[in-house]
Amino acid sequence: MLSTRRQSTSVAPSRGPVLLLMLLGALAIATPRISDAMDLTTIDDEPLTLSGWIRFRDYTWSYFNAGPVPSAFGNDNQYNYPALVARLGIGYQLDGVKLFVEGMNPTFFGLPDDAIAPAPKGALGLGANYYSVRKESFDSSVFLKQGYVEFGGQILKDLAVKGGRFEFFDGKDLPVEDRQIQWITDNRVAQRLIGNFGWSDVMRSFDGAQVGYGGQNWRALVFYGVPTRGVFDLNGMDEISAVDVIYAALSGFRTDGAWGNSLGRVFYIWYDDNRGLVPVDNEPASSAKKNLRSISIDTIGADFVHDVKLGPGTADFMVWGAYQFGNWGDQTQAAYAATAEAGYRFDDVPWTPWLRLGYDMASGDNNPNNGVHGTFFQILPTPRIYALDPIYNMMNSTDVLGELIIFPTADINLRTTLHGLWLSSNRDLWYYGGGAFDSHLFGYVGRPSLGNSYLGSVLDTSLTWNANRYLTFNLYGGHMFGGSVVAADFPNGREETFGYMEAVCQF
């Protein structure tokens, strides 16, 4: 591991990120069309390939104002920092057996060292989250991101077996050719409960195995994995050996002519956490400190996505739901979550505007003293997909959203979303985070609601330009108008702004 320490506590904007993006823009125009992966050599007439992925991102935070804090802490809620992530993989396939090894190198430049206030305010933006683990402002590491062997049909036709270290995404079990359904699946169904946290600069993988069986229109999948460290912890090589997850699902796709296309799934997840940590919940502190037994939760659920040609465009709707039972330490788990969304895409109108409406609800705990944990637990997700401004997640939350997506050209899309956010229970916490990423940190954070329910509203916009098949640019900006929950925790300033610009190059 490599690390150096920042000499100054301030982070000043520089021209470097802008100049780098301009350079990448020039490369986007000049880049020739090469093969997707470079052939290094040939072994038994099969190529040994090299693939790569590089992402540069420059972040800007103006977090809620923590106000004056004790000198041992910090209250820097306005800062920026760049991050560079590189992944390099080597693959080989012979007689249907695939071998793949990939290394990863995340690097941070100028993380804030004074942006962590006392609890319950805590980290003032994700820059503080990264800094808090290793206490380094300039930091870098190199580790094994993936390393697996995959058998595709050698053991039995339509049977695929994979083992080793790899990424896993719940809900992406069965890719389909319907582009609208696939977009909804990728952006509104997949990774709600298990994902690689790919938006973070360290991400996560799983050590384990998966078995899939099925054809073009259906698939059964079973997965077992132990998550690696990562997400906000640059020690991504190690696994969190005290955490296990099992996933099983059956997915099916149906095309029915005038009635449109449908994709459905039923799933089961078992999650077990034996790290012996104090759980983050709304129990009284005296009780929570004693609740060190394992967390063992069963989740059953289903989802359904459908679209159909209607008038000048395509209408779609999606439903997703899950129920949880088991043990939250010495409490009984009993929680649920549900989502319903609908949209209409004007296929024959310039810029093909796509309007979407949605309602997401995940239960909270109404009684901290009854021995039942009623807060829906999001397990090991990629939460940022569902909260583009990453200051809340799908735990004790109700989200009413409206969205407009437009496509000015085939290579550019603009997505604007307005969220209205409430806590499902005002006796529970305001949660954020994305699950276990370290053996010593729980992975979720909760702030008190103090009897309030209205979290606030978030307005955000993102622009994506696919410059060519190898280079993509993204711009994002989001602003939260904090409600009574935020005002109770941050009386000195309840508005927050977050943005970034990024360039992603892959081959």
* DSSP states of 229-250: S-TT-S-TTSB-TTEEEEEEEE
| CA 478/CA 347 separation, integer angstroms | 28
CA-based nearest residue to 415, from 359, 355, 491, 345: 355
- Please state the pTM of the whole predicted model: 0.92
Cβ–Cβ < 8 Å for 370, 183: no
| CA 58/CA 85 separation, integer angstroms | 12
Residue with tokens 């004056």: 68
Residue 30: Cβ within 10 Å count: 8
Phi/psi class of residue 96: alpha, beta or left (left: φ > 0; alpha: ψ in -120 to 50)? left
What does the pLDDT read at residue 96?
A: 84
Strand, coil or helix: 324: strand
419's tokens: 């969220």
DSSP state of 279: P
Amino acid at 139: D
| CA 447/CA 486 separation, integer angstroms | 9
Question: Is the domain 75-506 a CATH 2.40.160.100 member?
Answer: yes
Which H helix or E strand runs over 36?
Answer: none
Strand, coil or helix: 56: strand
| CA 439/CA 365 separation, integer angstroms | 26
What does the pLDDT read at residue 32?
A: 41
Angle at CA 22, nearest 5°, toward 19 and 27? 130
What does the pLDDT read at residue 14?
A: 45
| CA 445/CA 504 separation, integer angstroms | 30
The residues, ordered by sequence, that sit 6+ positions from 374 with a Cβ below 8 Å of its Cβ are: 334, 335, 363, 364, 365, 366, 367, 425, 428
210's tokens: 């998966």
Cβ–Cβ < 8 Å for 93, 148: no
What does the pLDDT read at residue 371?
A: 93
Q: Does the CA dihedral 152-156-158-161 come out positive or negative? A: negative
Distances (CA, A) of 445 to 100, 271, 476: 35, 19, 24
pLDDT single digits (tens) 411-449: 999 999 999 999 999 999 999 999 999 999 999 999 999
Residue 491: Cβ within 10 Å count: 12
What does the pLDDT read at residue 2?
A: 38
Cβ–Cβ < 8 Å for 104, 203: yes
Report the residue count for the chain. Answer: 507
Strand, coil or helix: 437: coil
| CA 437/CA 446 separation, integer angstroms | 16
Low-confidence ranges of the chain (pLDDT < 70): 1-37
307's tokens: 């679209």
What does the pLDDT read at residue 21?
A: 52
DSSP state of 173: S
Cβ–Cβ < 8 Å for 285, 261: no
Q: What is the dihedral of CA 142, 145, 147, 153, to 10 degrees?
A: -160
- In sequence order, what are the beta bridge partners of 90? 50, 101
Cβ–Cβ < 8 Å for 112, 131: yes
